[in-house]
Amino acid sequence: MSELLTVKAIRDAILEGSVTAEEVTKNCLAKIAAEDAKVGAFLEVFSDRALEKARAIDAMKASGETLPRLAGVPVAIKDNMLLAGEKASAGSNILRDYTSAYSATVVERLEAAGAIILGRANMDEFAMGSSTETSAFQKTHNPWDLERIPGGSSGGSAAAVAAGFVAAALGSDTGGSIRQPAAMCGIVGLKPTYGRVSRYGIVALASSLDQVGPFTHTVEDAMLVMEVIEGRDAHDATSTELTDKPVAELLEPTLKGLKVGVPKEYFIDGMDPEVRARVEEAIEVFKQQGAEIIEISLPLSPYALPTYYILQPAEASSNLARFDGMRYGTRAPGALEDSYLTARSEGFGLEVKRRIMLGSFILSAGYYDAFYKKSLAVRNALRKEFDEAFKQVDVILGPTTPGTAWKLGEKFDDPIAMYLADVFTTPANIAGLPGISLPCGFANNLPVGLQLQAKPFAEMTLYKAAAAYQAVTDWHTKIPQA
């Protein structure tokens, strides 16, 4: 398919009756069947279930009922999101046989809005990774260059949208796992404000950092998905009642008068000069459209990454304690101790083990104060630094990642090089800010992502600015012709 598959176009076509939900679903399933063998975006495709749901939408339409917001829109969910009765493995061998007993709130809301869930997308094991290579099951290839990684950890979700298999997908972002793969696959990825979207029914990585958000081609599509999934959920105490919910149709994109902060710390030595050039060109577009560009400094930025790699493994090690083959995970034979040991040593991959060990070490007596407590103090300081910056500017602009998609295997044995890919994305998680990545051109024929961040719950500002940028550029309309 060489056409841009957007949420809005499909939704409107189904509403109008120019196409049926069943036809759309069949087309997407056929494309997946023909092409996903080389991309590897899906761990499982829910064909029968999807067709059944699509026919139900068509029956509603035929009987004259009002169709819900996303009626018939094909979507994918990340493999760490529960869908009752279906498998969810979080990319891990330890959960290879796990079947969800209930649905995640975001998944339930998508279905209630008429979206058709086509399948579960590949991911790094327990969302630990930046390349989707730590999945216990398969590698995912970047649709722009099949020899390259799609980014991670939500690489399957991003690749599924970029390849045109679905119009939208959900990912989760703990340190960049939506924005980074969005950048590498040339699509839009939004990490909402912490607390905007319910985490209920998502396999937790680091509970104080995790947020669910959409992958789409356009900002408007991201809004359409957000409208449906966001807001208070009684099952997640950190989810927030939203007093003002942006509505896609009411958006007035503009860059006029927008104060855009460009931190010098977001242009580091060692970043790809081509990526830098694309971001600088985007800054020019912002300027031409009436934005005021303000050079700012966020001196604590370099501490975000090391802080993240303390807080995240600490929280992950405690969240992952439940996967022992008794409470969750595949049970191993033997007496209690042996069974635990075998279940965890055989069930977890190397990266997950590394983080559990790091996290347990960080939280152990004596080291807790030296590492964990200190990181919490840095976290507070980083938040304050952002608070101060947002007194002066409306959005903070920079690259999403320092480079483009690398070759499969290239950084697999070098965890530090892999972690460095998160240098610009971890600050938003640490401070709980919303961040969006949008395509802003190509470097060496690979997509480059532009990141905009705003203060907590100022998603509307991001939408306005990002949609205004998309209105005068066409990077988001480019699709891989593999």
For ligand GLN, the binding residues (CB under 6 A) are 127-130, 153, 173-177, 205, 312, 422
Give whichever of 76 and 127 is closer to ligand GLN, judged by the CB atom. 127
Identify whether 153 is a catalytic site residue.
Answer: yes
Q: Which residue is nearest to ligand GLN (CB)?
A: 177
Q: How far is the CB of 130 from ligand GLN (least distance, A)?
A: 4
CA distance linking residue 64 with residue 70, whole number of Å: 16
Catalytic residue among 61, 78, 455, 464: 78
Give whichever of 20 and 134 is closer to ligand GLN, judged by the CB atom. 134
Q: How far is the CB of 368 from ligand GLN (least distance, A)?
A: 21
Q: How far is the CB of 91 from ligand GLN (least distance, A)?
A: 11
Give whichever of 355 and 464 is closer to ligand GLN, judged by the CB atom. 355
Catalytic residue among 153, 154, 157, 172: 153
Catalytic residue among 135, 157, 172, 177: 177
Give whichever of 61 and 355 is closer to ligand GLN, judged by the CB atom. 355
Q: How far is the CB of 176 from ligand GLN (least distance, A)?
A: 5
Angle between helix axes 459-472 and 273-288 (nearest 10 degrees) is 90
Give whichever of 32 and 90 is closer to ligand GLN, judged by the CB atom. 90
Q: How far is the CB of 129 from ligand GLN (least distance, A)?
A: 5
Give whichever of 130 and 307 is closer to ligand GLN, judged by the CB atom. 130
Give whichever of 50 and 127 is closer to ligand GLN, judged by the CB atom. 127
Q: How far is the CB of 306 from ligand GLN (least distance, A)?
A: 13
Catalytic residues: 78, 153, 177
